[in-house]
Amino acid sequence: MADRMNEIGRSGISRWGGHIHEEFLPELRGTQGVRVYTEMAENDDAIGAILFAIKMLIRQASWSVQAGGKEKADIKAAEFVESCLHDMTSTWTDTISEILSFLTYGWSVVELCYKRRMGHKKDPRLDSKFDDGLIGWLKLPLRSQESLYEWQFDERDNLLAFVQMPAPNFEIIKIPAEKFLLFRAESRKNNPEGRSILRNAYRAWFFKKKLQELEGIGVERDLAGFPVLTAPEGVDVWSPSNAGLLKMCNEFVSNIRRDSMEGLTIPAGWKLELLSTGGARQFDTSAIISRYDNRIAMTVLADFLFLGHEAVGSFALSSDKTRLFSMAIGAYLDIICETFNRKAIPQLIELNQKSFAGLSDYPTLVHGDIETQDLEQLGAYLKDMTGLGLITPDDTLEEYLREQASLPTKID
């Protein structure tokens, strides 16, 4: 019986000295991986557009707190938690924006900071809209991914602390696990670093980046012409005695640029030619780059963004892909809600447990829909269902329909 109650196995996570080695590509591990994902998110137009679309859709979602039961204490606790969401030094929208960095890096850590609600104070660390004396959230600040120093675990691979070395002082700071919330885009082996939603796009991004650099060099060379410098007859630039001359010639042709300072003076007998292909190339680099853009978008179900740009694809296909994209975003919202409901809200209620005696269950954070309802489809569906007698219109249905159509509530 004792063996059944004890944990025997281990997750098998690859870690040494507080550093995770689950990623098989060294360039995507730890802080080095953070730098790569930052470049992908900040420097690539396709990835930037995808992340912008995801973040804007998530930021416009509605958030509310539901009571854990029907008792007075349950309703009071739900109202209290919801008031805490909008009583922090940072807005709830900005807090969500910081949390969403887990999409790019695979994980994000926000610290739980508290205050006692004693009304308006000059000190922002004490200021509150409420003066009920309860303990609320002061803020939920991000602890940046690039500040990661190490993770600390116990002998059963349970996470104990997040250790950072942040700018500007670069001092080592240890944050215990009970003091922060960890958000992960994906979890495997209980890896605290999760898995970035850009991970599968890395290979396509890498080749696209290199191809764009070559394309830029090629365009510049075609506009300027490929420089060919011919030495006068009798001058052997390949002779060891002319090594300095050869070096100077190589530097000369490699530094030719078309700009406002262009010009040339050469000795008699030397000949400079600028060869050009007229812009013709054996490979269509634009088509290849577009293919990589599509591959990148496919990894996050956002390839519908390119349907219009390529003048192909039906409206029905776009609608189906958009619905899948919205479902994926809904999963990210669920991650945020589950993390708050598992740790942040219970901890907040426990700090104020005397004020919520008789509580049935903890309140829960819930999110609204990402995609607005297609009223034409909804109307056709209701017409068919009511015509068959399967749905009977009532006040609850009317209230729902008014909400979906953004109509004013019914006045009794």
Mean pLDDT, range 77-82, rounded to an integer: 96
Position 1 scores a pLDDT of: 58
Strand partners, 107: 184
| Confidence tier at 313 by pLDDT (50, 70, 90) | very low
pLDDT at 308 (0 to 100): 53
pLDDT reported for residue 316: 45
Average pLDDT, the chain: 86
Taking alpha carbons only, the member of 184, 206, 187, 212 closest to residue 295 is 206
Strand partners, 164: 148, 173
Q: Does pTM top 0.75 for this prediction?
A: yes
Tell me, what's the pLDDT at 7?
84
Helical packing angle, 285-298 and 45-59, nearest 10°: 30
Residues of the chain above pLDDT 90, percent: 49
Mean pLDDT over 194-211 rounds to 94
Q: What is the mean pLDDT of residues 44-69?
A: 90
Predicted confidence (pLDDT) at residue 235 exceeds the cutoff of 90: no
Lowest mean pLDDT among 76-85, 168-177, 354-363, 371-380: 371-380
> What are the structure tokens assigned to 374, written together?
């297609």
Distance between CA 175 and CA 350 in Å, rounded? 20
Question: Which has the higher per-residue pLDDT, 52 or 314?
Answer: 52
Instruction: Look at residue 365 in the predicted model and tell me its pLDDT.
Output: 97
The residue type at 8: I
Whether the pLDDT of residue 207 is over 50: the answer is yes
Q: Nearest CA to 366 among 103, 134, 78, 80? A: 78
Q: pLDDT band for 314, please (50, 70, 90 cuts).
A: very low
List the structure tokens of 389: 């007698």
Q: What is the mean pLDDT of residues 247-269?
A: 78
User: Rounded distance, CA 183 to CA 106, Å?
Assistant: 8
Reported as a pLDDT band with limits 50, 70 and 90, residue 28 is very high
- Report d(CA 9, CA 275) in Å as an integer: 68
Q: Is the pLDDT assigned to residue 206 strictly greater than 80? A: yes
Q: If DSSP codes are grouped into helix, strand and coil, which group holds residue 394?
A: coil
pLDDT tens-digit readout, 325-346: 788 888 999 999 999 999 999 9
Residue 231 has pLDDT above 80, yes or no: yes
pLDDT at 101 over 80: yes
φ, ψ for residue 211 (rounded to 5)?
Answer: -65, -40
Do 90 and 78 touch, CB atoms closer than 8 A?
no
